[in-house]
């Protein structure tokens, strides 16, 4: 395996580990909020971040957060941990430079692209578009790599 390919796989693995770590942290945070008044917590953070609570988007977000039930919060935390496990699996396989890691990444990342595109359709923003472009580029690169005969 070429050194440049190994470095690129490890870079992709680091991205997967970063995603997994972020999702684990968010999920654990969600579980900690199970017995809290989310409206109060959200208002505290709006104030702390210096956001204007009178703005439409801030009011809308506060209203949505206030309506979340403990069961919904628990579901969000569990889904976050499931996605984190998938990202960790991808990352470990890629970091270890295993062919199965490339296959798993193509399958998982490729299967999430339609969901990401749908989310862009519903709520477009530059960050979502950037994430999709990176994920599609990774999938295309790995498919080409998998199809190449070993040198």
- The pLDDT score that the predictor gives to residue 150 is 65
pLDDT digit string, tens, across residues 89-134 = 999 999 999 999 999 999 999 998 999 999 999 989 999 999 999 9
Phi-psi region of 14 (alpha: psi -120 to 50; beta: other; left: phi over 0): alpha
- Distance CA(113)–CA(55), nearest Å, equals 32
- Distance CA(116)–CA(3), nearest Å, equals 31
Q: Where are the domains of the chain?
A: 3-147
- Distance CA(65)–CA(39), nearest Å, equals 6
């Amino acid at each position: 395996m070429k050194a440049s390919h190994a470095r690129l796989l490890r870079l992709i693995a680091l991205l997967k580990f970063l995603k997994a770590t972020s999702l684990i942290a968010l999920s654990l945070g969600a579980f900690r909020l199970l017995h809290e008044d989310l409206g109060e917590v959200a208002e505290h953070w709006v104030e702390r971040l210096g956001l204007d609570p009178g703005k439409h988007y801030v009011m809308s977000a506060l209203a949505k957060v206030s309506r979340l039930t403990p069961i919904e919060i628990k579901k969000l935390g569990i889904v976050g941990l499931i996605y984190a496990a998938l990202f960790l699996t991808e990352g470990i396989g890629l970091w270890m430079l295993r062919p199965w890691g490339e296959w798993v990444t193509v399958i998982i990342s490729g299967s999430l692209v339609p969901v990401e595109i749908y989310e862009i359709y519903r709520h477009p923003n530059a960050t979502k578009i950037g994430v999709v472009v990176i994920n599609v580029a990774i999938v295309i690169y790995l498919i080409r790599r998998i199809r190449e005969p070993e040198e």
